Structure 1
Amino acid sequence: MSGADMENWSELIVKLGAGLWREILYILPFLMLGVLLEAIIRTFKWHVKIRKALTHFGALSIVVATLLGLVSPLCACATLPLVISLLLAGLPLAPAMSLLVTSPLMSPAGYTLLNWELGTLWANVVVVCALFMGLYAGYATHFLRRYGFTEERLFRKILPEGDFHDPDYPVVELRCDCGKQLSHRVDRCTHNKFLVFLAKFWEGLLKIGRFALIGLVIEVVASTLIPTDWLAALLSGEGIAPILTLTFATIPLHLPQVTAAAMLYGFVSPEVGEGITLAKGAGIALLIGGPVTALPVMGIFISMFRKRVLLLYLFLCVSGTLFLAFAYRWLPIGG
């Protein structure tokens, strides 16, 4: 490699690093605030207490599961094993589906980052969309009970009894390793709430920061190395094609909400990005359709559940996303 090539590569790396650092500084305050809120929730185990009570809420369980999903700090991949454990504990499929669909769409960290990156209107719209998705998934599943979607006909095979938190639980895909987490080790050694809070804050910062960083890296690299006119046109396009393209293109992607918001931020922000106007329908297609479907989730579905349950989940996610994207596109608000 010649000296000129080395110099060009050095300039490119410096340019990428400077752009990434600039965007990290912009989102850092709200990232820290969101992580702080989630650390408080996890320290006092508010979401766990509500989750354990889900099986006792009866007709209100769909609503409660949806509200729990709004404050849950879990993504789709982490929520699915939890949902399976709740099903085995007697939770009906309808509220379980509500929780599974809603949890990846909203969290305290997700809201604060959306508010900072895309604005308060977009953050509130995604909250409303997540609420709709949870209720839609729950009540649609409840309606389908009469057509065989019951708890007795969910799994491909009988799952062994036992605690998912047990390191020797035989189903590896469902085995929880939370006992190895720093916060659990701190709790076992000290039983000090403040130290546990600090540990959970660190864990959340690593997890959420990683997802945000992935989104920023993708955006910075794409905007620097790849002509982004077509993608900018897709995100700002007001027609039907951008909605359909983004909805179906994100089905196989593992695109957590924090990552999706960070990617969009680089295009929407006039300070650090393209400064485009995010189209309402396209924005919903990416922010709702992206987080709820992912290959890891579908892999567990295929291995654990009957095919009809996976098809139901995909149908609810895709149809709900399309309805919300077209509805928001046509509503005379925002934009």
Structure 2
Amino acid sequence: MLAFVLLMAVVGIATPQQFWPSLSFVGNSLADIAPFLLLSIAIAAGVKATGADQLIGAAFRANAGKAVMVAALVGALSPFCSCGVVPLIAALLAAGVPLGPVMAFWLASPVIDPEMMLVTAGVLGVEFTVAKTLSAIVIGAVGGYATVAIQKAGGFSDPLRGIEVSTCGTSAITKPAKPHWKFWDDKDRMKDFVGEFRRTGWFLLKWLSIAFLLEGLMTNNLPMDNIGQTLAGLGLWSIPAAAFVGVPAYLNGYAAIPLADTLMQMGLSKGAALSFMVGGGITCIPAMVAVKAMTRLPVFLTYVAIALTGSVAVGLLYALWGGVIG
């Protein structure tokens, strides 16, 4: 929070005309996602209070290979935004769920959700929506399996920062204790729920405040018209360029839809637009800040590398598909 105050002070001194718009952007962004965040925080806190985290952790550890694909599918089809999944991810990590399935879920979830599918189909077409959905699933699965392979080779031995991981003893083999679903009847469990709710809520408030401030400053100062015209003239190179431009320029899944439509009207190819939306969605500033806050540098760099290379790959494949079909 001190960093947020200092950053706002710099904005106020360097560009006073952007001080109130930037503060308003942060407030509006937090207000927009508040319902989703409160729901996901409550679910995460409830999982811990009921003891279901041990059951979840045991199930995922016993079936890590299948869990990666399931996590990629669930992530692509879940209704939570890139910020809303953060408390759920924290709960899974704390429950001892392997990093591979969590990485798959984290990569797939920000790209699309059921409501976004409908909006995307209405503006950009059904074909583009299908391509974006498949991209989320494929990148999530590839990232998850790559993480599993890295861990089997001895990497990511200590991947998390500030999260206590429950190994649940031998719960992957021995059946864990049955969850106590009516946790509100138990004083200690209710105390756990409230404590977890407060910890996760504070974690998200302080990190997302900085993330939204950085996002607002970048998007307000990027000349997207000039960038769009430049990208449209790069030919095949527009696909990797669009993926990297998506990192600072991407607002959120819904705001990016009309932006991608405008870029395509300027001449940007569908493949490059897909790379922009997929890469920008996974690596949007709030998502990256949350990942960095929860994981150590090697895991964070792997996350970013998979997001960018994956978004370039799906853009090239979509361009190839369009060329063959066309």
TM-score, length-scaled by structure 2: 0.62
- 1:153 is aligned to 2:153: no
Q: Give the match for residue 314 of structure 1.
A: 304
Quote the Cα distance in structure 2 between the aligned partners of 1:128 and 1:303: 28
Q: Which amino acid aligns with 1:97?
A: M
Alpha-carbon contact 1:66-1:131 (below 8 Å) kept: yes
1:105 to 100, 108, 111: 111
- 1:124 is aligned to 2:130: yes
The alpha-carbon deviation at position 115 of structure 1 amounts to 0.6
The 3-state SS of whatever aligns with 1:105 is coil
TM-score, length-scaled by structure 1: 0.60
- After superposition, the Cα gap between the structure-2 partners of 1:89 and 1:307, relative to the gap in structure 1 and judged at 3 Å, is same
Alpha-carbon contact 1:281-1:326 (below 8 Å) kept: yes
Deviations 1:163-222 (A, max 9, x none): 58734337821589xxxxxxxxxxxxxxxxxxxxxxxxxxxxxxxxxxxxxxxxx99xx9
Alpha-carbon contact 2:163-2:294 (below 8 Å) kept: no
Q: Which amino acid aligns with 1:113?
A: V
Deviations 1:284-303 (A, max 9, x none): 22111110012223323333
In percent, how many aligned pairs have the same letter? 25
The 3-state SS of whatever aligns with 2:148 is helix
Number of residue pairs aligned between Structure 1 and Structure 2? 241
Task: Please give the residue correspondences for 1:297-308 in structure 2 after superposition, counting only pairs within 5 Å.
Answer: 297-308=287-298
Alpha-carbon contact 2:123-2:257 (below 8 Å) kept: yes
Quote the Cα distance in structure 1 between the aligned partners of 2:77 and 2:153: 32
Quote the Cα distance in structure 2 between the aligned partners of 1:83 and 1:164: 18
Quote the Cα distance in structure 1 between the aligned partners of 2:224 and 2:294: 42
The alpha-carbon deviation at position 80 of structure 1 amounts to 2.7
The alpha-carbon deviation at position 132 of structure 1 amounts to 1.0
Stretches (4+) displaced over 6 A? none
2:318 to 328, 332, 335: 328
The alpha-carbon deviation at position 333 of structure 1 amounts to 4.5
Alpha-carbon contact 1:69-1:103 (below 8 Å) kept: yes
- After superposition, the Cα gap between the structure-2 partners of 1:233 and 1:100, relative to the gap in structure 1 and judged at 3 Å, is same
- 1:169 is aligned to 2:199: yes
Deviations 1:120-172 (A, max 9, x none): 1111111111121111111111111134345x511234549855873433782
Quote the Cα distance in structure 1 between the aligned partners of 2:144 and 2:248: 23
Alpha-carbon contact 1:253-1:295 (below 8 Å) kept: no
Q: Which amino acid aligns with 2:301?
A: L
Point out where structure 2 has 5 or more consecutive residues left out of the alignment: 1-35, 167-191, 207-218
Task: Please give the residue correspondences for 1:83-232 in structure 2 after superposition, counting only pairs within 5 Å.
Answer: 83-150=89-156, 153-159=158-164, 163=193, 166-169=196-199, 172-174=202-204, 228=225, 230-232=226-228
Tell me how large the CA RMSD over aligned residues is: 3.9
The 3-state SS of whatever aligns with 1:78 is coil
- After superposition, the Cα gap between the structure-2 partners of 1:250 and 1:153, relative to the gap in structure 1 and judged at 3 Å, is same
- After superposition, the Cα gap between the structure-2 partners of 1:72 and 1:52, relative to the gap in structure 1 and judged at 3 Å, is farther
